[in-house]
Structure 1
Amino acid sequence: MSNVLSTREQAAWSLSGDWLLVVVNLWKQFQPEYGRNTPFGSQENNATDLTWLERHRLQNVQYFILLSLLISFSVFYSMGGYFQYFYYIKRREQSEEWKCQPNKFLTKENERHEFIAGSVNMACGATVSGILACFILNGGYSTLYYSASERGWLYFVLSGPIYYLYIDGVSYYLHRTFHNPYLYKKIHKHHHRYHQPTAFSAVAMHPVEFFMYQAVMALPIFTVPIHAGVFLTVLMYFYYYGMIDHSGVKMDAIWPWQPPSTFHDNHHQYFHCNFGFNSLLFDWMFDTLRKEGRVYGEDIFGGRGRSIENDKEK
């Protein structure tokens, strides 16, 4: 399992391009005046002389988007390719040793589908992230702050776990909502065609669902004061674990709050249970953890399965 762990350094970069905010953060640290002297921020310039991009703090946005696309795809393909080559190709015949669902693999059609769907969402997400990073770097409004002492060290320390719980909680509710019979059949089923997910499945979903999750994660940087380092650390962890828990490779929990990779793999295998992503907390609170002795299936909604006795009666 050491080969899996060694990918953590690669995965520390966000999948959808939010890693670009790292650049914004560092630049703001060393160039705090940047953005105040841009054409938009200058009081000496007449707004009518500015281009549309300058008026909206998006000058040079094309370079941000291009860089975001380049790095995001490099990381997505390299990490997904790592799992694909070292496990699904080289060790395919030994899947009992490493696979969450031994001897079960996606069809070639679904492998192509997840790769294409994931790539399309990656392109869209990286583009939006590049635009946001450009906007913030050029002095656009956000609630990110850059000095840990600005709002006090207690606020700085507590904001990390609070932001983590916010994302985990809202993602749980959003994910569970997509398991409503109507939304599941119209939207979320696109993601559940991958009964044996791989790392490429992490962002292979309906675009509406993809952008809902992206919006949940990005909302705090425009609504609640949050240190850029805290925001990025939590966000990168979520992206990192998103690929790990879709990889199909058995991996024990590293941190006390983190479930093993089989937790989410079971979600794809049994459908309507284990709705959480990065912890067991909300599934435990709302009794939606998969249980032995219960029957689960794509047509058994609600998150609690069905008793074996009731299933036999049917």
Structure 2
Amino acid sequence: MMGQGEDVPMSREWNYQPDLPLADPSIFRWPPDPAFLIRWFARHWLMLSERVMMVMLAILLYLTAYPSLEAAQSFGVGWVLQVWAVNMGLVIVIAGGLHWYFYLRQGQGRRLKFDHKDQAKGNRLWNFADQVHDNMFWSLTSGVAQLTGWQVVTMWLMANGYAPVISFAAHPVWFVLALILIPIWSAFHFYWVHRLLHVPFLYKRVHALHHRNVNIGPWSGLSMHPVEHFLYFSSLAIHWIVASHPIHLIFHVIYEGPGAVMSHTGYEDLLVRDKRRLALGTFYHQLHHRYYECNYGNQEMPWDRWFGTFHDGTEAGTKDTRARKKRMHRQ
């Protein structure tokens, strides 16, 4: 049976919202809570979570689709285009599939959809006067190209011994630990890059393009200005200095690229037979798209709570965020 608010609007502001105020799911709590850490690890890594599926996909693509490191020892059109084609296919299949299911087929109706509204059409704010077409343009041009560029350079560095490479056989513990740490590193990197992009000079010229998506959908996740794409994908540079395997790189690529698509569906979860089967968007980030100057990071890192930019979803949180926004604009 569906819970309250999954079939009917929860408020004037939202079609659906989780229980408020938002809980604190960050693993960086003090004092440490071993029981919570065990539950967090089990939920993300000991069941078929979105992260486990991404790792499985990374292994499959490593074995079947991406070129080998041997091929990447010297730059060549063939293997670079191969990486680009795989990334293009991933984004089209995942973003296009989610958009088709949620917005064209209406496979879940409005259950667990945050925003009341549909995505915009006939508005000249968007290229092609269409939000989805605009988002597709930025995602499939600059988005796929820059994701590919960072991956290609990293593969070349690995192939030529400029970036440290490990094998599972030689370093099994670090191999597994690195998979767990990549999303945590990504969250840390995202928060600080995101704060930088909200500096007024960069926000007006760069980040405002992404923030046109107040009501987000799958194609919104990678719809960014080219400068933002460059900064966002620079998370992959960690592989230049920290020992990893090509599978780690591919997992990281999937997490940053298609992962952003999944987190911007506009729905909290994918339902299968009325049961939540796949975590997608978070109300935490949906609040950022609605109110801008809050929730710059994600729930896994504590920065927004520590630095006073956390919006807990309540009316009081909205008032605090609007007051902070006014103070910022007066500076």
Per the TM superposition, whether the score is higher than 0.5 is yes
Which residue, out of 83, 99, 114, partners 1:100? 114
Q: Which residue of 2 aligns with 1:86?
A: 101
Distance change >3 Å, CA 195–CA 84, structure 1 → 2: same
- Distance in 2, matches of 1:22 and 1:296, equals 48
Which residue, out of 86, 109, 116, partners 2:137? 116
Q: Which residue of 2 aligns with 1:243?
A: 261
Distance change >3 Å, CA 111–CA 231, structure 1 → 2: closer
Q: Which residue of 2 aligns with 1:12?
A: 54
Measure how far apart 1:137 and its partner are.
6.8
Measure how far apart 1:207 and its partner are.
0.6
Which residue, out of 199, 204, 210, partners 1:185? 204
- Distance in 1, matches of 2:65 and 2:90, equals 19
Distance change >3 Å, CA 212–CA 21, structure 1 → 2: farther
Aligned-pair RMSD on alpha carbons? 4.2
Measure how far apart 1:120 and its partner are.
1.2
- Distance in 1, matches of 2:110 and 2:318, equals 23
Is the Cα contact below 8 Å between 1:274 and 1:290 reproduced in 2? yes
1:64 matched to 2:79? yes
Amino acid at match of 1:306: A
Is the Cα contact below 8 Å between 1:117 and 1:205 reproduced in 2? yes
Is the Cα contact below 8 Å between 1:14 and 1:235 reproduced in 2? no
Distance change >3 Å, CA 148–CA 228, structure 1 → 2: farther
Measure how far apart 1:209 and its partner are.
1.0
What residue ranges of structure 1 are gaps of 5+ in the alignment? 29-33, 36-55, 298-302
Tell which structure's C-alpha radius of gyration is larger.
1
Q: TM-score, normalised by structure 1?
A: 0.68
Is the Cα contact below 8 Å between 1:14 and 1:236 reproduced in 2? no
Taking the TM superposition and a 5 Å limit, the aligned residue runs for 1:214-229 are: 214-215=233-234, 217-229=235-247
Is the Cα contact below 8 Å between 1:96 and 1:103 reproduced in 2? no
- Distance in 1, matches of 2:151 and 2:175, equals 26
Q: Deviations over 1:72-103 (max 9, x none)?
A: 222211222222222212229x8532421023
Q: SS of 2:117's equivalent?
A: coil
Q: SS of 1:99's equivalent?
A: coil
Distance change >3 Å, CA 278–CA 225, structure 1 → 2: farther
Q: SS of 1:145's equivalent?
A: coil
Q: SS of 2:304's equivalent?
A: helix
Taking the TM superposition and a 5 Å limit, the aligned residue runs for 1:159-178 are: 159-178=178-197
Distance change >3 Å, CA 13–CA 132, structure 1 → 2: farther
Distance change >3 Å, CA 85–CA 167, structure 1 → 2: closer
Taking the TM superposition and a 5 Å limit, the aligned residue runs for 1:1-314 are: 12=54, 27=68, 34=70, 57-59=73-75, 61-91=76-106, 95-108=109-122, 109=129, 110-129=131-150, 131-132=152-153, 135-136=156-157, 138-150=159-171, 153-215=172-234, 217-251=235-269, 261-277=282-298, 279-291=300-312, 292-294=314-316, 296=318, 304-306=321-323
Q: Which residue of 2 aligns with 1:40?
A: none
Q: SS of 2:221's equivalent?
A: helix
Q: Which residue of 2 aligns with 1:49?
A: none
Q: Deviations over 1:29-52 (max 9, x none)?
A: xxxxx58xxxxxxxxxxxxxxxxx
Amino acid at match of 1:12: M
Measure how far apart 1:304 and its partner are.
4.0
What residue ranges of structure 2 are gaps of 5+ in the alignment? 3-47, 123-128, 271-275
Measure how far apart 1:206 and its partner are.
0.9
Amino acid at match of 1:268: H
Measure how far apart 1:196 and its partner are.
0.9
Residue-pair matches, total: 266
